[in-house]
Chains A and B, each alone.
Chain A
């Protein structure tokens, strides 16, 4: 299913806000957007045509978003995102505890809302084979990394990657262009704190560089960010 064909139901008591989100969502390519300004109107629209995703405000003139959530969930398992001005931890935890897919606090960046909506729709409505989150092949200069085969090919030679090297590289690849701290890497690879793994991590990174870099002493892809962690350089 194309995520842009998904029906999105927006429920908020502020008509101006609904209009803005509708307009911006439409500009982003979403074609089927319906809206409601009250719980009764939302229930009616939900019954008439169940949406694929609902965005609910919590404070509504004739009820609350939490009750509406429970009502929708009894009828369907569609993903639901809360969008509220209530920023208390207890509200957020309560909403997520009910089983909501996300909870966003107003004011928010529209771009952030769209990214979250897209991520939820992709996760729920796209079949996994069509949307691999991370490609299983990575090109770094004249080297190709095959994650599934756990090896690096350079010309005719093939170098195997150890399990730890593979995990390190995958974590860096999933956050490509961003700094991944020493702590995050140790957590991903050894499921432990950085303390005690300082040298181990350095040794593994050196071995990895020997396999993926043309000149490991002057790396171009796997870069060190002094004092913080490592970064896999964006494609050049």
Chain B
């Protein structure tokens, strides 16, 4: 489930990164907007600077404060709706577009209240001018006024608090992302396990509920389909194996008769030498049929995994010597010479496998060299070990394995390739090696033909 954990890790990182980016963008936008707002202070009646311009156009006469034409022009262009100047007694000394609903004089309490809040719901701003108090009013519901108060100590700690606040926010974001990621991971875990089981050809039954209900349903359906297909394939393979096994069984008894009589006739004194030779040829051919039947049976079983491997620890050096000695002891002609080469360090290798099958694979390779070189040859059987790989190299001084045979064998087909009877032995050898996790490779000679390399499985132990 490493891949799933990787997906979740990436998801968490991406989510965290997105949140941080959004936060940064927000901060940036706020900064830009704030800066832009500051630049437009002229159109903002609630900024002291616009009031200053109007105040600048005011003068104090004997009749009280007066505003120049330019001042009135500025007032009209501003967002203020009305304006007035109160004298020291709270009476109106100057006014501009003052609503009728407003009083003509104000007490100290009135001034204290509206200077901070509203005057009859008109948001107002005040400014001292000479001995007058200038009051500017804006339209109702145009501005909101809030009175904010901060202690100096808190205000001083504001940068620190802001940083802390930011960190806490980031931490919270991270916690949420991790929490959701973990939940997501847990909800996806059964799906991941299900897919893994499917890839291992195991049946899957997931609970179809929650976030992954739909996915689980699909995986369960896929598993059921695969199981059905596997069952059908197994039935087909079994039928094929049984059919081959049955045919080979039925051939065995008649072949016994052919072999028995042919062998007896080849040595019968009642027959002429020519007739004996013919009987001998029948006997030799029946031996080939016997080998083919046995190989066909075994190859079919190995193809459809119907051949159990009787595994045991064995020494590949011993096996090679045993196989070569078997050829000599069974009357190998003198035109052949099998040279067994086993380095001292390879003597201690121990592998685990079906020795009967490995012996058969070796026999096939050595037998191949002998059969295809009727004029005789020198065969080298070498056991080699490099790192954890162990192999037998079977070289001969004869013709070697032709290119087309190697191509046929290298086809990635589990079944018997076309032209199979001619390469049954090598195909079987390859299957035996594959069943043990090894393989059959080929080394090209200068002449263009090949030598066989039988790769055994990984090493089990070294020592006695």
Q: Taking the nearest CB of chain B, how far is it from the CB of A13, in angstroms?
A: 9
Asked if A227 is at the interface (CB within 8 A of a chain B CB), the reply is yes
* Residue pair B347, A194 in contact (C-beta under 8 Å): yes
Asked if B261 is at the interface (CB within 8 A of a chain A CB), the reply is yes
Complex formed: what's the CA distance from A178 to B308 in Å? 33
* Residue pair A195, B348 in contact (C-beta under 8 Å): yes
Provide the residues of chain A in CB contact with B261, threshold 8 Å. Answer: 20
Provide the residues of chain B in CB contact with A195, threshold 8 Å. Answer: 315, 317, 347-348, 464
* Residue pair A228, B340 in contact (C-beta under 8 Å): yes
* Residue pair B253, A14 in contact (C-beta under 8 Å): yes
Q: A89-B308, A179-B325, A229-B325 are in contact. Are A107 and B252 (CB under 8 A)?
A: yes
Q: A89-B308, A89-B310 are in contact. Are A193 and B297 (CB under 8 A)?
A: no
Bits for B256-270, please: 1 = Cβ < 8 Å to A, else 0. Answer: 111111011000000
Residues of B in contact (CB 8 Å), total 37
Which residues 16-62 of A sit at the B interface, judged by CB distance below 8 A?
Answer: 16-17, 20-21, 23-24, 27
Asked if B217 is at the interface (CB within 8 A of a chain A CB), the reply is no
* Residue pair A85, B318 in contact (C-beta under 8 Å): no
Asked if A203 is at the interface (CB within 8 A of a chain B CB), the reply is no
* Residue pair A194, B257 in contact (C-beta under 8 Å): no
* Residue pair B321, A17 in contact (C-beta under 8 Å): no
Complex formed: what's the CA distance from A208 to B349 in Å? 30
Asked if A226 is at the interface (CB within 8 A of a chain B CB), the reply is yes
Which residues 278-319 of B sit at the A interface, judged by CB distance below 8 A?
Answer: 286, 290, 294, 297, 308, 310, 315, 317-318
Provide the residues of chain B in CB contact with A193, threshold 8 Å. Answer: 315, 318, 464
* Tally of contacts, chain A with chain B, CB under 8 A: 99
* Residue pair B264, A106 in contact (C-beta under 8 Å): no
* Residue pair A109, B321 in contact (C-beta under 8 Å): no
Q: Taking the nearest CB of chain B, how far is it from the CB of A8, in angstroms?
A: 16
Q: Taking the nearest CB of chain B, how far is it from the CB of A80, in angstroms?
A: 19
* Residue pair B297, A87 in contact (C-beta under 8 Å): yes
Which residues 214-236 of A sit at the B interface, judged by CB distance below 8 A?
Answer: 225-229
Pick from A23, A178, A179, A226: contact of B339, CB under 8 Å: A226
Provide the residues of chain B in CB contact with A89, threshold 8 Å. Answer: 308, 310
* Residue pair A178, B340 in contact (C-beta under 8 Å): no
Provide the residues of chain B in CB contact with A85, threshold 8 Å. Answer: 249-250, 252-253
* Residue pair B339, A181 in contact (C-beta under 8 Å): no
Q: A109-B259, A179-B328 are in contact. Are A227 and B321 (CB under 8 A)?
A: yes
Asked if B110 is at the interface (CB within 8 A of a chain A CB), the reply is no
* Residue pair A17, B253 in contact (C-beta under 8 Å): yes
Q: Taking the nearest CB of chain B, how far is it from the CB of A12, in angstroms?
A: 8
* Residue pair A198, B263 in contact (C-beta under 8 Å): no
Complex formed: what's the CA distance from A196 to B348 in Å? 9
* Residue pair B464, A196 in contact (C-beta under 8 Å): yes
Interface range for A: 35 or more
Q: A17-B253, A228-B324 are in contact. Are A194 and B317 (CB under 8 A)?
A: yes
Minimal Cβ-Cβ distance residue in B for A175: B329
Bits for A141-183, please: 1 = Cβ < 8 Å to B, else 0. Answer: 0000000000000000000000000000000000000111111
Provide the residues of chain B in CB contact with A178, threshold 8 Å. Answer: 325, 328-329
Q: Give the dominant DSSP class at B's interface.
A: helix
Provide the residues of chain A in CB contact with B342, threshold 8 Å. Answer: 227
Q: A17-B253, A89-B308, A194-B317 are in contact. Are A228 and B325 (CB under 8 A)?
A: yes
Complex formed: what's the CA distance from A171 to B414 in Å? 44
Bits for B225-267, please: 1 = Cβ < 8 Å to A, else 0. Answer: 0000000000000000000000011101101111111011000
Complex formed: what's the CA distance from A196 to B250 in Å? 49
Which residues 336-380 of B sit at the A interface, judged by CB distance below 8 A?
Answer: 339-342, 344, 347-348
Q: Taking the nearest CB of chain A, how far is it from the CB of B365, in angstroms?
A: 17
Provide the residues of chain A in CB contact with B310, threshold 8 Å. Answer: 89
* Residue pair B260, A183 in contact (C-beta under 8 Å): no
* Residue pair B256, A107 in contact (C-beta under 8 Å): yes
Bits for A191-210, please: 1 = Cβ < 8 Å to B, else 0. Answer: 01111101000000000000
Q: Taking the nearest CB of chain A, how far is it from the CB of B353, in angstroms?
A: 16
Most chain-A CB neighbours within 10 Å: which of B249, B253, B263, B340?
B253
* Residue pair A107, B259 in contact (C-beta under 8 Å): yes
* Residue pair B260, A21 in contact (C-beta under 8 Å): yes
Complex formed: what's the CA distance from A220 to B253 in Å? 46
* Residue pair B328, A225 in contact (C-beta under 8 Å): yes
Asked if B218 is at the interface (CB within 8 A of a chain A CB), the reply is no
Asked if A99 is at the interface (CB within 8 A of a chain B CB), the reply is no
Asked if A67 is at the interface (CB within 8 A of a chain B CB), the reply is no
Asked if B322 is at the interface (CB within 8 A of a chain A CB), the reply is yes
Provide the residues of chain B in CB contact with A228, threshold 8 Å. Answer: 321, 324-325, 328, 340
Minimal Cβ-Cβ distance residue in B for A20: B260
Provide the residues of chain B in CB contact with A27, threshold 8 Å. Answer: 264
Complex formed: what's the CA distance from A98 to B257 in Å? 28
Q: A192-B464, A226-B339 are in contact. Are A106 and B347 (CB under 8 A)?
A: no
Asked if A110 is at the interface (CB within 8 A of a chain B CB), the reply is yes
13 example contacts (A-B, Cβ-Cβ < 8 A) are as follows A17-B257, A20-B257, A24-B264, A107-B255, A109-B259, A109-B263, A110-B260, A178-B329, A181-B321, A183-B318, A183-B321, A195-B347, A198-B347
- Besides A85-B253, A107-B253, A182-B321, 13 other CB < 8 A contacts? A14-B253, A20-B257, A20-B261, A24-B264, A87-B249, A89-B308, A89-B310, A178-B329, A181-B318, A183-B317, A193-B315, A225-B328, A226-B340
A residues in contact (CB < 8 Å) with B: 14, 16-17, 20-21, 23-24, 27, 85-87, 89, 105-111, 178-183, 192-196, 198, 225-229
In order of increasing CB-CB distance, the 10 nearest A-B pairs are A85-B252, A227-B340, A106-B252, A107-B255, A107-B256, A179-B325, A183-B318, A178-B329, A195-B347, A181-B321
